[in-house]
Structure 1
Amino acid sequence: MSLQQISSFAAGEWISPGTGARTIASAITGEAFASAGNSALDVQGMLDYARTVGGPALRKMGFHDRAKMLKALAGALGARKQELYDLSFNTGATQSDHMVDIDGGIGTMFVFASKGRREMPDGQVYLDGDVEQLSRNGTFLGQHICTPLHGVAVHINAFNFPVWGMLEKLAPTLLAGVPAIVKPATNSCYVTELAVKIMLDSGILPAGALQLVSGGLGDMLDRLGMQDVVSFTGSADTALKLRQTPAIVNNAVRFVSEQDSLNASILGPDAEPGTPEFDLFVKEVSREMTAKAGQKCTAIRRIIAPETSVQAVIEALSARLSKTLIGDPRLETTRMGALVSNGQKQDVLEKAAIIGQEAERVFGDPENFTVEGADKDKGAFLPPMLFHCPDADKAERIHDTEAFGPVSTIMGYRDLDHAINIANRGQGSLVTSVITNDAAVARGVVLGSAAYNGRIYINNRTSMKESTGHGSPLPHMVHGGPGRAGGGEEMGGVRGVKHYMQRTAIQGSPEMLSAIGGTWVPGAPEVEGPAHPFTRKFGELSIGETLHTASRTVTMDDIELFANFTGDTFYAHMDDDAAKRNPFFPGRVAHGYLLLSFAAGLFVEPNEGPVLANTGLDNLRFMKPVSAGDSIKVRLSVKKKTRRTDDYGEVRWHVTLTNQDDEMVAEYELLTMNAY
């Protein structure tokens, strides 16, 4: 049988396997079916192509344009995901595993597309934090900004998630405006290759934005510079080797790592047998041991339960695991498929033997189990294996050895502090979960273990129906962890995008900061529009366009009418003596919300026009009280514009209220939706 040729995509061309190619075997049959790798790849040419073609093209686009691109790419992948399913069976993954990898990856791209449109500007500069006033009169200010790096992101991915593992890195990279060179693990690179082909065939990506290495990287890492990023997922040993590449060290190349993690799950002391939490705990552990045949960086490796419940957990978990049908992943009845390769199977057995030096195997015999529809001796099949460690304090290897497969170890704890200590002996994890219905237990675990974890997952009877599971990283939240877990943080919404951007402090006048950030800063020049700004469409408004209103005097009748009409008869508005005893007021004062209402009356254009809706206000502050007899006037300035659809966009207005002495009494940001 001829082998399927898994190509690389370099500098705009597909390159077939060549010198140094290696064969890839099916996880199901153990037979070679594909070939990948070419040691003659022009890696310098790939880097140059990304830096000189892909990077400039992406940087010309704004964040919203790149977000639209991500959405379109996700749609293109979704339309052809059945092809990815069919190919991915060769990795040993079941259909439910595909849902995690392929659908999960596509969903991650959609989330980043949405966050790019909603949380990032419709421009090329991301403002990181508020303006800092660096001078007395506000003529010299500071602002942190983020802009795309001018290099290339090299993504080195693990074998277990050939689609999600690529897309969860690629989405924030492209959103940042940085081109990527993707290097999947060779054992499953054929699935990644198809996903890359789908994206390239769509015609959505600019040239140079995405390249693929199927096989080894050669000396690519030796050619990286200070504008480049390496994002790695894999073993701690490999991460250490890559981190020490001289070019990475000497050029301070950013290195984001997600690596070995001995994740733990803690059964709360309140979650006794018979409670919903106990049953949930058993279900979660079983799922994490068997999903992707335990080949998940977030899988539960250490099961921590009260000493009095250990035996009950072993019995319940063993009973549940015994129902797991192992077999050819293409069969609908299969619940756990094969490991990715026989080499990986052997590695898991070796690591399980190390764990067995300190723990007794209480479920799962790798020499005696049944596989449906496949030859267990030829394919990379293993049963779920549960170990019991009677003394977690004396053990060493169960806290530093990860068998990257369907293997987990249960151990008992005396009290919650002991459970936390056991969990922390993993020396840094991607995730620790606690299953409890006691908020004090959850808080204790967080305070005791948060410093050792990238994520802490808490579940109970309230959240169990909607929770996503211990082992499910979500694009909204950080995925990574300290110490042994690599010290990196992927995803996390916009936090993940910032890995591929440079944070820079800019300093200057309000005018300069406004011009750079595309957001009007108080003190910058104001623009007088040709008509009332509420009569002008989104596209016609200019940043800094300002309306100054007439003034209005606030009377005691106004204050009393507002109090009686709204029911807000707080003493500061109704009792002069009580108000004077308050250190903030000179006597009876106007309601803050009365001032906001009067302000709207001063600046609103009442007729039908391009303003479609008032969607809220942000950052409201009251600085000085207004008494009866004082007057107020309003300055309304266009602070920022964000296009939401082809029909309308959001206008953020900076609003200030001043009194008859030009003293500021209130300030806020008004949000409106304006027709485009």
Structure 2
Amino acid sequence: MAIATVNPATGETLKTFQALDADEVEARLARAAEAFETHRTTGFPERARLLRRAADLLEGDAEEVARVITTEMGKPLPAAAAEVAKCVKTMRWYADHAQALLADEKPYAFDVEDAGASRAFVRYRPMGVVLAVMPWNFPLWQVVRFAAPALMAGNVGLLKHASNVPQTALYLDDLFRRAGYPPGCFQTLLVGSSAIESVLRDERVAAATLTGSEPAGRSVAAIAGDEIMKTVLELGGSDPFVVMPSAELSEAVRTAVTARVQNAGQSCIAAKRFIVHSDVYEEFAARFTERMAALRVGDPMAEGTDVGPLSSEQGRADLEELVEDATAQGATTLCGGRRPPHLERGWYYEPTVLADITPSMRIHREEAFGPVATLYRVADLDEAIAVANDTPFGLSSNAWTNDAAEQERLIADLRAGGVYFNGMTASHPGMPFGGTKRSGYGRELSGHGIKEFCEVTTVWYGARKSSG
């Protein structure tokens, strides 16, 4: 099986790699299991030294790595550079804080003497070999936000990356090797999706994490469930962006555009559904549409490009189907809705705003993975919350209001893994990240994330009895 880098800006196949055969996969599994037995016994200072070294190397490679990311999946070069910088920051954050995050815990409201013990505490121990099945849209960041905490906890990692970013996957394999990690601590499995099940079912694999589509999550979760294996899933999202009358409208509009078209709209946590109170709807819609239409679509390597191509021809076709279904059922196209006529090569799509959305349209319930925004007019906060929650997804949410009572209501009632007020949903190493409903389960980042792949271990010392 061949795994290729295809430039989405041109459709040209640039490099082709041969997938690993079964013997090589077996060899890497064996190395991972062996490496865990050593890596789990290293102290936090040594783990931190290794991770800081990897961060330093990545920082030195930043320009080259950013160009590889842009070439493989199409995001504008400045966005790729920002992704690299975020990875460096997160690696250093975990190197600095993992020991404190995983320190032994005194049980809450637990009386040792009353329980007949001399001492008791909770310790977090690493689980073992963790398989990471990762997507192409943030090909470095998605991996690092798993790898940094997992390695600091004493686990080892196997990466099955998306097949359209093989150079990024191989770079990550090489990065941790150059940083001095023992062989087997982090390895890339350059294989197709059909090879995942056999790896998951291998008794040497202790856990799995997946970021990707709902079908991919269902498949991995089903196999892992059959094996009684711990999993963390971060799946699709169709995040609401609620705008109420008390919002600072200029800032809301500016942020709304960024939140929708970042990464050409190919982000699970991108704002996708813009739910606007009728008192400010007309002004918001006009200003939002004007800014979306003014974005520059083009070569992601070129200076001044706002929106690059979609990552694949199929991805663009899927997006076009959603738009065509909506317009056929009465949706109004305020801007975009087509392929840019000046770009004949590559998988580009114009930033698009659709209004008059109804529940019968597929785009109302399905995730639009591209630069397409849907607008909803609502009469009050109750309706805004109802529309926001009318989705199978619940990854995150954005809400623009300066009314404290509205903010408390939104925190209580929005069914999402995060509620971001007067700003754009983003991930940070110090805050937990993950969703509800069909957006998955478990958390990444922060102390919550590093503990996902740890065994929560009760340690108990019996009370000493007097010898008389």
Larger relative contact order, structure 1 or 2 (CA cutoff 8 Å, min sep 6): 2
Contact 2:357 2:374 in 1 (8 A): no
Moved more, 301-310 or 154-163: 301-310
Aligned match of 1:216: 192
CA distance in 1, matches of 2:17, 2:199: 20
Aligned match of 2:397: 432
One of 408, 419, 423 as aligned partner of 2:384: 419
Cα distance change on mapping 1:98 and 1:390 into 2, 3 Å: closer
> The residue matched to 2:5 in structure 1 has which SS?
strand
- CA displacement 1:238-290 (0-9 Å, x = unmatched): 11122222xx223211111000111111102322xxxxx21111111101222
CA distance in 2, matches of 1:439, 1:305: 18
Aligned match of 2:420: 457
1:279-428 equivalences under 5 Å are 279-356=250-327, 357=329, 359-367=331-339, 369=340, 371=342, 376-389=343-356, 391=358, 394-395=359-360, 397-428=362-393
Contact 1:351 1:402 in 2 (8 A): no
Letter in 2 for 1:505: T
Is 1:108 the counterpart of 2:101 in the alignment? no
> The residue matched to 2:251 in structure 1 has which SS?
helix
Contact 2:161 2:189 in 1 (8 A): yes
Aligned match of 1:266: 242
> The residue matched to 1:33 in structure 2 has which SS?
strand
- CA displacement 1:377-396 (0-9 Å, x = unmatched): 320111111111355xx446
| Identical positions, percent | 24
CA distance in 1, matches of 2:216, 2:99: 36
Cα distance change on mapping 1:226 and 1:434 into 2, 3 Å: farther
Cα distance change on mapping 1:238 and 1:119 into 2, 3 Å: closer
Contact 2:134 2:211 in 1 (8 A): yes
Is 1:190 the counterpart of 2:157 in the alignment? no
Cα distance change on mapping 1:415 and 1:332 into 2, 3 Å: same
Contact 1:44 1:220 in 2 (8 A): no
CA distance in 2, matches of 1:455, 1:70: 28
Contact 1:44 1:223 in 2 (8 A): no
1:117-196 equivalences under 5 Å are 117-121=99-103, 126-127=104-105, 129-130=107-108, 132-136=110-114, 139-149=117-127, 151-196=128-173
CA distance in 2, matches of 1:110, 1:68: 10
Aligned match of 1:506: 459
Is 1:36 the counterpart of 2:17 in the alignment? yes
> The residue matched to 2:456 in structure 1 has which SS?
strand
Cα distance change on mapping 1:360 and 1:50 into 2, 3 Å: same
Q: CA deviation at 1:196?
A: 2.8
Moved more, 421-430 or 432-441: 421-430
Contact 2:245 2:279 in 1 (8 A): no
Is 1:494 the counterpart of 2:447 in the alignment? yes
Q: Which has the higher helix share?
A: 2
TM-score normalized by the length of structure 1: 0.65
CA distance in 1, matches of 2:363, 2:453: 36
Letter in 1 for 2:189: V
CA distance in 1, matches of 2:115, 2:442: 41
CA distance in 1, matches of 2:204, 2:256: 42
CA distance in 2, matches of 1:201, 1:430: 35
Aligned match of 1:229: 207
Give the gaps of 5 or more residues in structure 2.
Answer: none
Cα distance change on mapping 1:104 and 1:134 into 2, 3 Å: same
CA distance in 2, matches of 1:140, 1:117: 25
Q: CA deviation at 1:453?
A: 1.1
Number of matched pairs:
460
Contact 1:28 1:378 in 2 (8 A): yes
Contact 2:326 2:361 in 1 (8 A): no
CA distance in 1, matches of 2:419, 2:81: 23
Answer with 1 or 2: which has the greater Rg: 1
Cα distance change on mapping 1:222 and 1:168 into 2, 3 Å: closer
CA distance in 1, matches of 2:76, 2:450: 31
CA distance in 2, matches of 1:250, 1:302: 36
- CA displacement 1:139-162 (0-9 Å, x = unmatched): 45542221111x311001111011
Aligned match of 1:69: 50
Q: CA deviation at 1:222?
A: 4.5
CA distance in 1, matches of 2:297, 2:226: 49
> The residue matched to 2:284 in structure 1 has which SS?
helix
Cα distance change on mapping 1:319 and 1:502 into 2, 3 Å: same
CA distance in 2, matches of 1:399, 1:64: 50
Q: CA deviation at 1:231?
A: 0.4
Contact 2:102 2:123 in 1 (8 A): no
> The residue matched to 1:265 in structure 2 has which SS?
strand
> The residue matched to 2:271 in structure 1 has which SS?
coil
Q: CA deviation at 1:130?
A: 4.4
Q: CA deviation at 1:131?
A: 7.7
Moved more, 253-262 or 502-511: 502-511
CA distance in 2, matches of 1:212, 1:285: 36
CA distance in 2, matches of 1:146, 1:263: 33
Q: CA deviation at 1:137?
A: 8.0
Q: CA deviation at 1:349?
A: 1.4
Aligned match of 1:87: 68
CA distance in 1, matches of 2:204, 2:279: 55
> The residue matched to 1:127 in structure 2 has which SS?
coil
1:250-265 equivalences under 5 Å are 250-265=226-241
Contact 1:269 1:416 in 2 (8 A): no
> The residue matched to 1:479 in structure 2 has which SS?
coil
Cα distance change on mapping 1:355 and 1:114 into 2, 3 Å: farther
CA distance in 2, matches of 1:83, 1:361: 39
- CA displacement 1:86-129 (0-9 Å, x = unmatched): 222212111231134211122211221121254444xxxx4364
TM-score normalized by the length of structure 2: 0.92
